[in-house]
Amino acid sequence: MVTGHFGLAAAVKSVERPVPLWALMLATVWLDVIFVPLYLAGVERIDNVPGTNGGYGDGIIHADYTHSLLGALVIAAATGLLCTRWWGRRCGAVIGAVVFSHWLLDLVVHHTDMPLLPGNLGDLPRLGLGLWRYHAVTAAIEALLVLVGAALYWRAAQQAGGPARRVNLVTALIVGCGALTLALDIAGI
């Protein structure tokens, strides 16, 4: 769902102009950025859904720390507080909210693999609505999120009087990043 996350970041930028776009893009995938070293260390892992080849949406993700509800809330709050130092209270709150939005969007697509508490403490039921079971639908929704986010960004930047060449270039980069990450997801890379 990386592609959809980027679309959300672009949409947020359209209404929260003081927050740097690069910071929103990073914030929207921050849980996954933290996941990578934990995955490499064997703390978190990905297993194939039984009977699949492990392609787009075919992973059961055991991100029991970064993608637990409480873990995501703590990471979002800490990130927001840290960003407050550089960009002020409002921008810090926006960044924190965008970090947490990752968990909400993942909830829609993930299989039932997202725990409530870090390490799946208490062995509580795991969450996930499983949209990834429908690959084409998920890919279409992700593409739509990027296109809508890019269009909202473009319109807001035009209204703000940004240089047309720069606005068009940044919008093209948003769509291009979205298309590339969606293609890589679908290819299973």
**pLDDT at site 104:** 97
pLDDT in tens, 70-83: 999 999 999 999 99
User: Are 77 and 9 a contacting pair, CB within 8 Å?
Assistant: no
Question: Distance (Å, rounded) from C-alpha 89 to C-alpha 172?
Answer: 30
Number of domains into which the chain is organized: 1
User: Are 65 and 118 a contacting pair, CB within 8 Å?
Assistant: yes
Domain boundaries, position 183: 2-187
pLDDT in tens, 160-176: 776 666 767 677 777 77
Number of C-alpha atoms within 13 angstroms, CB side, residue 140? 5
**pLDDT at site 146:** 82
**pLDDT at site 16:** 94
Positive or negative: CA dihedral 76, 189, 143, 156 = positive
Question: Distance (Å, rounded) from C-alpha 153 to C-alpha 137?
Answer: 24
Q: 10 Å Cβ neighbour count for 51?
A: 6
What pairs with residue 127 in β-bridges?
Answer: 114
Residue 175's contacts (CB-CB under 8 Å, 6 or more residues apart) are 146, 147, 150
Rg for the chain (alpha carbons), in Å? 17
**pLDDT at site 139:** 82
Residues found in the chain: 189
Low-confidence ranges of the chain (pLDDT < 70): 1, 54, 56, 162-165, 167, 169, 181-182, 184-189
